[in-house]
Amino acid sequence: MLRFASPEYFYLLLAIPVLAAVYGAAVRSRRRRLERLGNPQTLAGLMPDASPRRVGNKVVLFLLSLVLLCFALARPQLGSKLKEVEREGVEIMMAIDVSNSMLAADFEPSRLERTKYAVEKVLEGLDEDRVGIIVFAGDAYVQLPITADHRTARNFVSQISADMVTKQGTALGSAIELATASFSSGSGRSRVVILITDGENHEDDALAAAEHAAGQGVTIYTIGLGTPEGAPIELNGDFIRDADGEIVVSKLDEQTLQAIASATGGAYVRAGAQSLGLDEIIREINETEKTKLAATVFEEYDEKYQYFLCGALVLLVIEFVLLSRRNRLLSRYDIFRKQRSKTNNVR
């Protein structure tokens, strides 16, 4: 695993294009001044030792050495030894409804997009807790198994869409059963399911699944999205209609969600215009009993900055040795001139 111990030094790379722009401006300014003095070709003959190409090469070498120096200062490291450690935390399975009803726009820009934003923000604040992600509609699927890698979890959340589950519906029971079976270890209140949905269950007995989860020591917190009055569902630029041609209105079923949470000792939160309710749930989870969770981490890291530092020093030495003018001594050994002379004699 590659990491940088001091990544803040990468901000120094912003100086590279600035220095390159300053050099380019200086070259243009010098060319304009020479053009005022006379014809550039005539002036080049009067200055046979001048070599703009060599000056440019020296600048390129200097800038490349600065880039390598920035990488050296950032201290690249490679993990060299794995260690199994124990941490205290809670395992959280987030079950997110991706059915078409989550496309209703009673939450801007939609229930689903609002959920994704709230989940990503909560994941940024998690520390020792481990998290997994389940998406469900008519079926339920594990999108991300339990992990301590919250950055990866945020990436998975950002990819959630309503077309991830082809079978439509809202199988709350299947989502709860799958979440209950997806925990790695733990006991008591160390295993938590956060169910985010509009609560319109059309497929199974969600309350029975919640009671089974409670028997396994799993606590379920539910978040209700939407309003009891409901909102139409827009799909591909048109509203979804039923068999009679009437526009389908998705309504929040709070009673089901309250019953699920109550059966497991959890809590129900109704999402509001300002807050989805996740922050309140996470605060309550943090007050629950923590459990020791096994995690594999890198215990030691090998420093690799010396390779970049050596490369920077080599480039600086080359830049120092490389003259900005043509070397008259070396010009005596122009092998191309000798080759041209031999060719002329043959002719």
CA-to-CA dists, residue 122 to 46, 92, 145, angstroms: 70, 12, 18
Asked if residue 50 has pLDDT above 60, the reply is no
Which among 217, 209, 241 is positioned nearest to 136, based on CA atoms?
209
pLDDT digits (tens, 9 = 90+) for 287-302: 765 554 455 555 567 7
Question: What mean pLDDT is reported for the chain?
Answer: 78
Whole-angstrom distance, CA of residue 325 vs CA of residue 102: 70
Whether 50 contacts 328, CB under 8 Å:
no
In angstroms, the CA 147 to CA 236 distance is 35
Question: What would the pLDDT profile of 159-217 be if each residue is shown by its tens digit?
Answer: 998 888 878 778 899 999 999 999 876 544 478 999 998 766 656 688 999 999 999 88
Does residue 222 contact residue 255 with C-beta atoms inside 8 Å? Answer: no
Q: What is the pLDDT of residue 157?
A: 92
Span of 21-25, 27-31, 178-182 with lowest mean pLDDT: 27-31
Alpha helices in the chain (DSSP H): 15-37, 40-46, 52-73, 111-125, 150-158, 172-181, 206-215, 254-264, 278-286, 305-321, 328-331, 335-346
> Which residues have CB under 8 Å from 191's CB, separation 6+?
90, 91, 93, 183, 216, 217, 218, 219
Give yes or no for a contact between 165 and 137, defined as CB atoms under 8 angstroms apart.
Answer: yes
Under a CB-based contact definition with an 8 Å cutoff, are residues 251 and 200 in contact? yes
Is residue 264 pLDDT above 90, yes or no? yes
- Residue 281 is predicted with a pLDDT of 86
**Are 80 and 302 a contacting pair, CB within 8 Å?**
yes
pTM of the model: 0.57
Mean pLDDT of 49-66: 80
**pLDDT exceeds cutoff 50 at 234:** yes
DSSP string across 95-144: EEE-SGGGG-TTSSS-HHHHHHHHHHHHHHH--S-EEEEEEESSSEEEEE
Q: Peptide bond before 76: cis, by omega within 30 degrees of 0?
A: no
Residues 84, 292 contacting (CB under 8 angstroms)? no
> For 237-260, what is each residue's pLDDT tens digit?
666 676 666 776 767 888 889 999
What's the token pair of residue 238? 């048109």
In a 13 Å sphere around the CA of 182, the CA atoms on its Cβ side amount to 27
> Could you give the CA distance from residue 93 to residue 136 in angstroms, rounded to a whole number?
13
Q: Which residues pair with 147 in a beta bridge?
A: 131
